[in-house]
Structure 1
Amino acid sequence: MEICGEYRAKFADGPIWHQAYGVIWLDIANKKIITFNPETQNEDVYDAMGWIKSIIPTKDGQFIGIYKDGLYLINFKLGLKKPFVLPPDLSELHFLNDSKCGPDGRLWVGSSDGFFKKFKETPQTAYSNYPFENAKLIAVNAEGEIQTHLSKVAISNGLEWDRETNKFYHIDSSKYAIFQYELTDSGELLFEKIVYTFKMDEGYPDGMSIDSEGNLYVTLFKSGLMAKTSKEQTRVVCINPQQQEIKEEFIIPVSQITSCTIGGKNLDILFVTTAYEALPEARIKEEPLAGYLLQFPIKTKGVMPFEFTLANSKSSF
């Protein structure tokens, strides 16, 4: 396991593999976009221009930034940001979160229930099942039109598609589960099925990536309270969703691992983002890797992310 670059994020998340930049990842807490090229070891840090949650490449070389309050066309090198879609029902208690472009060419964007963190960081309720489902999973097309697909969600995370079968995988972190759906030609999600459920003290399933064989790489995130009490080791797990079992696990000596992506010249390196935001000062000293982008080899090959095609009317600043 190696540290990538020198930048240490307070709360890193949202890594993607990009042919030109290498790994693009985010420091959400400090509102930064970081690029790291593993071939050249070049690292650059940019102002994210707001509270960014994830980033999506477009086919014309631009990027869509998913911020808490909406989707924006961004040029992080030049510091430019332009609204693309601003969903009308967002607030401090309902904001956008993880996102990826799907095989249907649409942007799939999950949201989060802003009360969840307080509920799970309060000792009296931390180990209770979260009773609310105020978040959503939506899809946005090239023209910026929104379609809601899932409405009974608390923390939408880890979106991925099997390139061979078009099965769609989605994590609701509040339920500690990975859900599978059939993505139809008309863009509908059918036949919901849970393919894996984690124990509460293992951590919340968070970011997710998929390899060319359809295996899911899932990060298990421990909140501040869980990091203090859980005796389970923090891991990234490789799950075969058809067999519904863990094939391999990678122990990470950091309480808070947030997301992962597969990249590198041969698409055989797993890049993992980590955080230290909710840890006490003494715990941060005990976890010197916390906040860094980490990398280690895997036995399988990854797949390139889908890129979004913007409508001509939306494609420039």
Structure 2
Amino acid sequence: MCQVSCVYHDRAQLGEGVLWSERERKVYWVDIEGHRVCRYDPDTGANESVAVGQQVGAVVEDAQGGLVVGLKDGLYRLDFGTGRLDKMCDPMNGDPENRLNDGKAGPDGRLYIGGMGPDKQQSLYRVERDGRRFEVIENGLTISNGLTWNADATRFYFIDSPQRVIWGYDFDRTAGAISNRRVVVDATGEDCVPDGMTIDQEGKLWVAFWEGWGVRRYDPDTGDRMAEIKLPASRVTTCCFGGENLDTLYVSTASIGFEERDWQREPQAGGLFAVKPGVKGLPPNLFRHD
């Protein structure tokens, strides 16, 4: 059994977007409904946060320093030390019913991020390295989640949570294009919802399940569930590998909508968890802007 620990007891409303910074040796994560970007130091146990004034769905590291965050009304560069925000672009075009949700830098240095909003009216976007130009690469979505690539950048994996499947695509690194969509994991029969996702060095997917009390490991070639790690929180939102050897899985959770009876059942909900599952992850990609 893997030993799971709550490394930071935060009671985040909607913890998400966990990112390991190799540059800083710290864990970035966001509280979407708390309107903040957080930074956890595994060496000291300290957690800092900066308020961004609106919903924040994703945080990505910039190769030239600083962060890029996906907010309600667009993509911004964020100076974590000062809290300064500089707008890059708004793929949602100011639509108040939509917001940016999960996003990551790709192995090509571009940024990939999806929307969340009215049913099947959302898109997945590729943002070019100038931070201004963007293009829709998938549509007909509702809640974009779980973007990840395999080690040689030939495959891209993606989740539209309400559809309860994980899609695999062929990935063209030069063009930043995806094609040949197919279902690699089918969770339509589950009573929980796939949310955030990462990949390990063996090419297996680690998926956080909302109302699933944990993360699961899948083989994308067969669709088989290989392992499951349970957490003392039901609303598990995303995960990433980090630590000195990329052998620690950091997992975010949520407590949104909780009442007193829920807190009695899940006192660590909204916390940041860590576990060593016995495999290692891949280094995180960086946004490499022009």
TM-score by shorter chain over 0.5 = yes
- 1:108 matched to 2:142? The reply is no
Matched, 1:64 2:68: yes
Contact 1:268/1:300 (8 A) holds in 2: yes
* SS of residue matched to 2:43: coil
Q: Which one has a bigger Cα radius of gyration?
A: 1
- Taking structure 1 as the reference length, the TM-score comes to 0.85
Q: Which structure 2 residues correspond to residues 236-251 of structure 1 after superposition, within 5 A? A: 236-251=215-230
Which position in structure 2 is the counterpart of 1:188?
177
Q: Give the drift of 1:88.
A: 5.1
- The CA distance in 2 between the partners of 1:282 and 1:268, in whole Å, is 35
* Residues 1:153 and 2:160 are matched in the alignment: no
Q: Contact 2:198–2:239 (CA<8 Å) still a contact in 1? A: yes
Q: How do 1:1-317 residues align onto structure 2 when only pairs under 5 Å count? A: 1-19=4-22, 20-87=24-91, 89-113=93-117, 115=118, 132-143=119-130, 144-184=132-172, 185-199=174-188, 201-222=190-211, 234-311=213-290
Measured in 2, the distance between the counterparts of 1:157 and 1:88 equals 16
Q: CA deviation at 1:60?
A: 1.1
Paired with 1:90 and 1:151, the residues of 2 have a C-alpha distance of 18
Contact 1:49 1:81 survives alignment (8 Å):
no
Once the two structures are superposed, residues 238-265 of structure 1 have per-residue CA deviations (whole angstroms, 9 ceiling, x without a partner) of 1110121111101122121111111111
* One-letter amino acid matched to 1:137: L
Distance in 2, Cα, partners of 1:32 & 1:94: 19
For structure 2, list consecutive stretches of 5 or more residues without a partner in the other structure: none
SS in 2 for 1:178: strand
CA drift at 1:221: 0.5
User: How far apart in 2 are the matches of 1:267 and 1:94?
Assistant: 34
Percent of pairs with identical residues:
29
Structure 1's unaligned 5+ residue stretches are: 116-131, 223-232, 312-317
TM-score (norm 2): 0.93
| Equivalent residues of 1:202, 1:220 under 8 A apart | no
Q: State the shift of 1:164 in Å.
A: 2.4
3-state SS of paired residue (1:202): coil
In structure 2, C-alpha distance between the alignment counterparts of 1:10 and 1:58, rounded to whole Å: 26
The root-mean-square deviation of aligned C-alpha atoms, in Å, is 1.5
The 1:268–1:171 alpha-carbon spacing in structure 2 relative to 1, beyond 3 Å, is: same
The separation in 1 between residues aligned to 2:63 and 2:209, in whole angstroms, is 31
CA distance in 2, matches of 1:269, 1:197: 26
Q: Between Structure 1 and Structure 2, which shows a larger proportion of helix residues?
A: 1
More deviation, 206-215/44-53: 44-53
CA offset at residue 86 of structure 1?
1.7
Bigger drift between 277-286 and 85-94 goes to: 85-94
